[in-house]
Chain A
Amino acid sequence: MYFKGYRRVDGTIGIRNKILVISVDECMEGIARSIAGSITDSIVLTNYNTCMMGGNEETVNNLINIGCNPNVSGVLVLAMGCGSIDPKIIADPIMKMGKTAYTLTSIKENGTRSTIAKGIKFAKILEQEKDNVEKVSAHISELIVGVKCGGSDTSSGLASNPSVGAAVDSLINMGGTAIAGELMELVGCEEVLVDRAISKEVGDKILRLVSEEERRWAVGGITEIMSVGNSVGGLTTIEEKAQGSLLKTGTTPIINILEFNQNGHEKPDSPGLYLSDTTMLCGGSATHFAAVGAQLILWTSGGAGFNNQLIPVIRVSGNENLISEDIDIDATGVMNGADTVDNVAKRIVDKVVAVADGECTQIEDVGYAYCTLYQKDTRLEYVLNSCSQV
Chain B
Amino acid sequence: MKKTMIKHSEDNVAIALTGIQKGDKVIVMSKSNEAVLELTAKTNIPYGNKIAINKINGNDHIYKDHYKIGTAIQTIEAGELVHVHNVKSNRINFPESIIAEIISQMDYSIE
Q: Are the chains A and B members of one assembly? A: yes
Instruction: Establish whether residues A236 and B15, one from each chain, have CB atoms under 8 Å apart when the complex forms.
Output: no
B48: interface (CB < 8 Å): yes
A237: interface (CB < 8 Å): yes
Instruction: Establish whether residues B91 and A234, one from each chain, have CB atoms under 8 Å apart when the complex forms.
Output: no
Q: Which residues of A contact B93 (CB under 8 A)?
A: 221-222
Q: Which residues of B contact A228 (CB under 8 A)?
A: 98, 101-102, 105
Instruction: Establish whether residues A187 and B102, one from each chain, have CB atoms under 8 Å apart when the complex forms.
Output: no
Q: Which residues of B contact A372 (CB under 8 A)?
A: none
Q: Which residues of A contact B92 (CB under 8 A)?
A: 187, 214, 217-218, 221-223, 225, 238
Within 8 A of B (CB), among A304-342: 319, 321, 335-337
Report the minimum CB–CB distance from B81 to chain A (whole Å).
10
A153: interface (CB < 8 Å): yes
Report the minimum CB–CB distance from A62 to chain B (whole Å).
26
What's the interface size class on B, roughly? 20 to 34
B68: interface (CB < 8 Å): yes
Report the minimum CB–CB distance from B49 to chain A (whole Å).
4
Also in contact, A234 and B94, with CB within 8 A (given A158-B15, A239-B67): no
Also in contact, A187 and B91, with CB within 8 A (given A228-B101, A231-B84, A335-B17): yes
Candidates B5, B67, B105, B106; contact of A188 at CB < 8 Å: B67
Report the minimum CB–CB distance from A243 to chain B (whole Å).
5
Kindly list the 6 A-B residue pairs having the minimum CB-CB distance in the complex, ordered from nearest: A154-B48, A234-B48, A240-B69, A237-B89, A237-B70, A234-B49
Report A's interface with B, CB cutoff 8 A: 153-155, 158, 187-188, 214, 217-218, 221-225, 228-229, 231-234, 236-240, 243, 319, 321, 335-337
